[in-house]
């Protein structure tokens, strides 16, 4: 039986994880190409290029059309380099992963202007970053030139719009039922964000037990209207993190989704539109 887990590995671990579902990372495009050519990347879901500083000419001619994630490490410094990667979009889907640190909003803005999908990473933003996050969400909701998803905002908005459940742990590809993160030293961890959290004996229990603990402790999660979507995601690694700003963000998305649903229903009722989204 094929192992259903997805392993996020450094390319140096490729021989050890061959045949499994992989996300392979390196900061050297030549190393990625050499590692995955000749069928070695058969089960590679996407590659992660760490940092934007490397020479990328060979990527423009790389025949393996596996999707790519550009992992931003220093938003301010790497911002102008994004333009170099734009021509590669003709060959493969490319997503920009940006950490929730100062300057991330600029990277998001330029990335979506270049038609790169975006994933915002990290879970406990400061008040300043919450403001920046609200600005990004506002762009996502209202900017007519924006045509690509910004995760986790996009999937949450869709979930509110469709009134369907979703888990932030899934959106952020950190669900311990599905994903393992292999450190550069070859050690197994729950995710990049939680690489320093000692994993429990059975990682599948990670979410359930601590989350139950959070609820039992009568903490913020207990009465939170968004707990079914969030699942305590923002309470890691610091369980005392105050979620007020995050709740503002989720409320903004929920209200916008409700507004869109209402407008479309009205439009449909007027006979101007007959199909579903």
Partner 1 sequence: MKSPFSLILLPTLSCNADCEYCFETKTEDRLSLDRLAVVLEKVMAYLEQRQIPTLFIYWQGGEIMTLSPEWFERAHELIQESAQIHGRRVVNYLQSNLLGYSQKWNSILAKMFGNSLGTSMDFPNLHRRTKGGTPQQYQALWERRVMEAKAAGIAIGVIAIPNAATLDWGAEALYEYFVDRLEIKEFQINTPFPGGTANAVKEGYPLETERLTQFLLDLADLWANRGRGAGVRIGPFDKLLAYFEQGSKDVLCIWRENCANELVCIDPRGHIAQCDCWVSSYPEYRFGNLFTPASLSDLLQGSQARQKFHLRPGQLVQTEDCLDCDYLALCHGGCPVRAYSVRGDLLKKDPYCALYQGIFRRMEEIAAKG
Return residues touching partner 1 (CB under 8 A).
57, 60-61, 63, 79-84, 86-87, 90-91, 106, 109-110, 112-115, 143-147
How near is the Cβ of 78 to partner 1 at its closest, in Å?
10
DSSP secondary structure letters along 253-274: HHHHHHHHHHHHHHHHHTTS--
Nearest to 47 by CA among 35, 39, 63, 55: 35
Q: How many CB atoms lie within 10 A of CB 34?
A: 14
Pick between residue 14 and residue 52 the one whose CB is nearest to partner 1.
Answer: 52
Pick between residue 60 and residue 212 the one whose CB is nearest to partner 1.
Answer: 60
How near is the Cβ of 28 to partner 1 at its closest, in Å?
19
SS3 of 88, please? helix
Report the distance separating Cα 245 and Cα 165, nearest Å: 21
Pick between residue 66 and residue 197 the one whose CB is nearest to partner 1.
Answer: 66
How near is the Cβ of 26 to partner 1 at its closest, in Å?
23
Pick between residue 135 and residue 186 the one whose CB is nearest to partner 1.
Answer: 135
* CA Rg value for the chain: 20
Pick between residue 14 and residue 88 the one whose CB is nearest to partner 1.
Answer: 88
How near is the Cβ of 109 to partner 1 at its closest, in Å?
6
Nearest to 119 by CA among 145, 94, 98: 98
3-state helix, strand, coil in the chain (%, to 5): 45, 15, 40
How near is the Cβ of 97 to partner 1 at its closest, in Å?
19
């Amino acid at each position: 039986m094929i192992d259903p887990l997805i392993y996020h590995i450094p390319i140096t671990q490729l021989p050890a994880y061959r045949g499994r579902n992989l996300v392979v990372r390196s900061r050297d495009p030549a190393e990625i190409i050499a590692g995955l050519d000749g069928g070695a990347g058969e089960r590679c879901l996407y590659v992660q290029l760490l940092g934007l500083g490397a020479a990328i000419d060979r990527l423009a001619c790389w025949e393996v059309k596996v999707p790519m994630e550009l992992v931003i490490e220093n938003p301010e410094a790497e911002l102008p380099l994004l333009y170099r990667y734009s021509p590669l979009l003709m060959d493969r889907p490319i997503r920009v992963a940006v950490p929730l640190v100062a300057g991330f909003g600029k990277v998001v803005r330029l990335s979506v202007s270049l038609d790169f999908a975006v994933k915002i990473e990290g879970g406990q933003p400061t008040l300043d970053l919450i403001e920046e996050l609200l600005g990004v969400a506002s762009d996502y909701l209202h900017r007519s030139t924006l045509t690509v998803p910004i995760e986790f905002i996009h999937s949450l908005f869709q979930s509110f719009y469709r009134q369907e459940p979703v888990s932030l742990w899934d959106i952020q590809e950190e669900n311990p039922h599905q994903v393992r993160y292999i450190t550069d030293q070859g050690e197994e961890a729950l995710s990049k964000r939680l690489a320093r959290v000692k994993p429990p004996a059975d990682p599948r229990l990670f979410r359930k037990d601590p989350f139950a603990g959070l609820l039992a402790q009568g903490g913020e999660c207990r009465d939170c209207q968004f707990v079914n979507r969030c699942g305590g995601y923002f309470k890691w690694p610091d369980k005392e993190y105050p979620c007020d700003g995050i709740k503002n963000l989720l409320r903004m998305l929920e209200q916008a989704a409700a507004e869109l649903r209402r407008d479309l229903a009205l439009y449909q009722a007027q006979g101007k539109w007959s199909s579903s989204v």
